[in-house]
Each structure stands twice: as C-alpha cells, then as structure tokens.
Amino acid sequence: MSNVSSKGTALVTGASSGIGAIYADRLAKRGYDLILVARNEARLNAVASRIHAETGREIKVLPADLNDKESLAKVEAVLRNDASITMLVNNAGLGSVASILQADVDQMDAMIGVNITALTRLTYAVAPAFGARGSGTIVNIASVVGIAVEQLNGVYSASKSYVLSFGHSLQKDLGGKGVRVQTVLPGATATEFWDIAGYAPQKTSPVTMSAEDVVDAALAGLDAGEEVTIPGLYEAEAWTDWEAGRREMSKKFGNAKPAPRYHVAA
C-alpha cells in the first residue's frame, strides 16, 4: 500500500492497456488517485483492481468511446467539474500503417476523431480550471512520426504533428499561469497499437521500446521540467537545435512582398 500523500486525481485516457495502463500504475504509486477512461470496461476494471490492491489509491473507471459525442461529453463534464483533478494524460489514440491508396477514409476520420478532436476537447475542458487555480499538469502523447512524418500512415503522422503544435500553443497560453504542459513523443512501443494498426511484427523489433520504459522516461522528463520529451532520442541537442531553427525561421515570414526568387512583378 502507498504511504505517499495524495497529489490529487489524474485522469488517464486509453488506460485499459499499454502506455495508458502503465501511466495509471506509475501515477498511483506517485500518490495520485485515478479516473481511468477507455472503451473496454472489463479491462479497465481489471487495471483498476490491480492498482488499487497494490497502492490503496482511489480509482474510478469511466468507460467511454472518445469517438462518440455523448461519451466524450461525459468525460469533458468530469474534467470541468471535478475539482480534485490535477492532471490530464491524453493518451488514447488510433493508428495505421496504410498508405492513402490502401486506407479507408472512414477509418482515417475516426483516427482524427480520437487523436485530434477528443484530445483537443478534453484539454479545453480542463484548461480553464487549471488556469484559474494556477496549477495542474496536461500530458499529451504524440509520436516521433509527428516529426518523421513519412514513416507511417499520413493521417496518423499528421495527427501527431498536430499534438506537438498544439502543445507548443498550450505552453504559450498556460505556462505563465502555473500550468505544466508536456508533449511526449514515443517511438515504436511494444503495445497492441501495432496489432490494430496492421503491423504486429513491430512489437518485437529490436528498435521497439517497452511501454514501461516509455512512461518511466516521460515521467523523468516531466520531473526535469521538459516541455517536449522524446524517450528514444539520445542526442538531446538534436531536438534543441531543431526547435531553435524552427523558431528562428518563424521570425522571417513577415514580408509584404513575395521573395525575389518568385520573380513576381511589383
């Protein structure tokens, strides 16, 4: 049983397995009570029972399909109204390895619904309360393919680029109000994601990280004050340099005339 004093409640989406279930375990051991969100109620209950037995933390399950408007609205209402919530982990996500010539557009639309729409709405639901209190933590799980966009399905990569960009904006809007925002970019991780995405062999590839290592690295990055954590990137300066270059280039866009290389007449 945990003797750690309560740090409030963490709401974790996609918590029935994989990265989400590991976050639930680690956060409970750090002193958080939990609200666990996923579609599969039986698996949620199993995760909750195990973690409660090991830690003694209070754990609630909230079965919800984040692609269903009514289910999503219920989770939003909890985030708006439960003053005990001090952390949101937006982990739920869908993926694919199919090209645009193979993928079904309705499946891509469903992916956008979970990876972008639900993540955005849940963040908007909790941000005002966190801002008003001057505290709180939002963790959004993106992916390295948000940068290495050519590696997997284009919609999946673009959805994770959105999460990274959204995180930068949240840090700008909320950082000065005492709210922590961390964007985590895992590489290939040994979870059921690959079974659902259509490439199960990736789970046993030598470049694939365990979910435990991903979460432990992400939490270490959070403790260190990182705004963006990339567990598999050994050369931290590569991210620092890339991000500095992006920000420097962004200063150069404000010109009222096209660049001379386009030969547009005045």
Residues contacting 53, CB < 8 A, separation 6+: none
The DSSP H or E segment spanning 183 is strand 180-184
| Confidence class for position 1, pLDDT limits 50, 70, 90 | low
Do the bridges between strand 33-38 and strand 228-229 make them parallel or antiparallel, or are there none, so unpaired? Answer: unpaired
Q: To the nearest whole number, what is the mean pLDDT of the chain?
A: 93
Identify the three-state secondary structure at position 251.
coil
The amino acid occupying position 223 is D
Has 162 been annotated as catalytic?
no
State the Cα–Cα distance between residues 137 and 32, nearest whole angstrom.
12
Set 32, 156, 162, 262: catalytic member: 156
Residue 2 has pLDDT above 70, yes or no: no
* 45-94 pLDDT, tens digit each: 999 999 999 999 999 999 999 999 999 999 999 999 999 999 999 999 99
Reported as a single tens digit per residue, the pLDDT across 142-180 is 999 999 998 878 999 999 999 999 999 999 999 999 999
Pinpoint the alpha helices (H) of 134-210: 154-174, 193-197
Query: In the structure, what pLDDT confidence band is assigned to residue 216 with cuts at 50, 70 and 90?
Result: very high
- Sketch out the chain's domains with CATH numbers: 9-237 (3.40.50.720)
Q: How many Cα atoms sit within 13 Å of 219 on the Cβ side?
A: 18
Contact of 216 with 26, CB cutoff 8 Å: yes
Closest CA to 33 of 83, 72, 80: 83
